[in-house]
Amino acid sequence: MSELFQLRLHVTAAGLCLDARGRLDGTTCHRLTRVITAVLDHRAARRVMLGLYAVDAIDLAGIAALRMSHAQAHRHGVELLMYGPQRHVRAAIGAAGAGHLITDTAGESMPHLPVRAFRQRDRARYACPRPPARPPGCVRPARQSAD
Q: Per the domain annotation, does 83 fall within a domain?
A: yes
Closest among 127, 74, 126, 77 to 100, alpha carbons compared: 74
Q: Per the domain annotation, does 146 fall within a domain?
A: no
Domain range for 120: 5-125
What are 74-125's pLDDT values in tens digits? Answer: 999 999 999 999 999 999 999 999 999 998 754 544 555 555 554 555 544 4
Q: Per the domain annotation, does 47 fall within a domain?
A: yes
pLDDT at 4: 84
Q: How many domains does the chain have?
A: 1
Q: Per the domain annotation, does 63 fall within a domain?
A: yes
Q: How far apart are the first and last CA of the chain?
A: 69
Q: Per the domain annotation, does 143 fall within a domain?
A: no
For position 32, which CATH number holds? 3.30.750.24
Question: Strand, coil or helix: what is 4?
Answer: coil
